[in-house]
Amino acid sequence: MIQVQNLDFSYSKKSQLFSQLNWESRTGNIIGMLGKNGAGKSSFLRILAGLLFPNSGQVSVLGFSPEQRNQTFLSEVFFVPDENFLPGYLPAERYQQILQPFYPRFDSEIFTRLLDRFEVDSQEKIKNLSFGQQKKVGLAMALSSGCALILLDEPTNGLDISSKSAFRKELISVLSEDQTVVIATHLIRDLENTLDRVMILDQGQIKLDADLSDLADSLHFGVSQSEVSGAIYSQSSALGVQFIQERTTQAQTVVNLELLFEGVTSGVPIASFLSKTNSLTA
């Protein structure tokens, strides 16, 4: 679905953001792209959407070069930026009616149900909605679009706790097996129990790219009252010492995404402890 080869990208008069970056993705995954603020998450999504152009290298999405903005490509990719992109003078229902013809598999029934689930008044002009409600309209559009690739930039930013929970549930229930979602976020806890795969972007490179199932098979996550011998990574917390170990005979544990992220961005070579057949590294 996505192939990125030797990607170089920089903004004018700024230092290089990506250098010789490589990445690929298959169909049918919910992928979390994690990174600190300024790591380039939003820029990477915009390159995939064809809104920013590489300085060099090749990017292929659904067999198309995004920067060419082919009509078929545009009908199969839906991008929701972090900032509001909706026309304020229209109510959500009218905006959906205008946009729907551009997406062949758009499901208006799902859109109506999602707005109801998100408690958004479809008849109210978008400019009169709060930032969080406007974000919900954009997410409802994306999840109703039927697009093969959905790109979400900080989708839970501005949502309250109940709305975040509703978003996670709807994301899982609405998607079909032939759809792929890439979610860029620094709010790691908001993605728990949602992702199939995690990609960590740091210092212009992809430091880890692996399925959650492979991480759970290969690594043991735990908490101890003291330092653990042989830990790959550990840090103190209010609960004690949180740690990551290579899994041998231990029972499988839930992947602690926050601890994993801290370990990877601290320079720990987590990828070297994963199954070579199931993990993808840059």
Q: What is the DSSP string of 61-87?
A: ETTB-GGG--HHHHTTEEEE-SS--S-
Do 114 and 143 meet the contact criterion of CB atoms below 8 Å apart?
Answer: yes
pLDDT for position 275? 61
Q: For residue 250, how many other CB atoms are within 10 A of its CB? A: 12
- Of 203, 227, 250, the residue at which a domain comes to its end is 203
pLDDT band at 57 (very low <50, low <70, confident <90, very high): very high
- Of 157, 182, 203, the residue at which a domain comes to its end is 203
Q: What ranges in 51-181 are assigned the alpha helix state H?
A: 71-74, 92-99, 108-117, 131-144, 161-174
Looking at the fold, whether 44 and 125 belong to one and the same domain comes out as yes
17-52 confidence digits (pLDDT tens): 999 999 999 888 999 999 988 889 999 999 999 999
pLDDT band at 282 (very low <50, low <70, confident <90, very high): very low
Task: Report the mean per-residue pLDDT for the chain.
Answer: 90
Count up the domains in the chain and report the number. Answer: 2
**Half-sphere exposure for 226 (CA within 13 Å, toward CB):** 1
Looking at the fold, whether 159 and 76 belong to one and the same domain comes out as yes
Looking at the fold, whether 27 and 97 belong to one and the same domain comes out as yes
> What CATH number does the domain containing 123 carry?
3.40.50.300
Q: Which residue range is the domain that position 257 belongs to?
A: 209-282
202-249 confidence digits (pLDDT tens): 988 899 999 999 999 999 999 998 888 889 999 988 888 999 999 888
Do 274 and 15 meet the contact criterion of CB atoms below 8 Å apart?
Answer: no
Do 47 and 66 meet the contact criterion of CB atoms below 8 Å apart?
Answer: yes
Contacts of 73-77 with CB under 8 Å at 24 or more apart are: 74/50, 74/102, 75/102, 75/103, 75/104, 75/147, 76/147, 76/148, 76/149, 77/48, 77/49, 77/50, 77/147, 77/148, 77/149, 77/150, 77/151
Looking at the fold, whether 22 and 125 belong to one and the same domain comes out as yes
- How far the first Cα of the chain sits from its last, in Å, is 17
* Among 76, 84, 89, residue whose Cα is nearest residue 126: 89
Looking at the fold, whether 186 and 279 belong to one and the same domain comes out as no
Query: Residue 65: is its pLDDT beyond 90?
Result: yes
Looking at the fold, whether 113 and 187 belong to one and the same domain comes out as yes
Please, which residues bridge with residue 200 across strands?
A: 34, 208
Query: Residue 278: is its pLDDT beyond 50?
Result: no
Looking at the fold, whether 98 and 223 belong to one and the same domain comes out as no
Q: 271: Cβ–Cβ under 8 A, 6 or more apart, which residues?
A: 207, 208, 209, 210, 279, 281
- Of 166, 188, 203, the residue at which a domain comes to its end is 203
Looking at the fold, whether 245 and 276 belong to one and the same domain comes out as yes
Looking at the fold, whether 196 and 221 belong to one and the same domain comes out as no
Looking at the fold, whether 69 and 163 belong to one and the same domain comes out as yes
Looking at the fold, whether 80 and 138 belong to one and the same domain comes out as yes
Do 78 and 145 meet the contact criterion of CB atoms below 8 Å apart?
Answer: yes
Packing angle between helix 131-144 and helix 161-174, nearest 10 degrees?
10
d(CA 142, CA 151): 8
d(CA 151, CA 50): 12
Looking at the fold, whether 199 and 213 belong to one and the same domain comes out as no
pLDDT band at 13 (very low <50, low <70, confident <90, very high): low
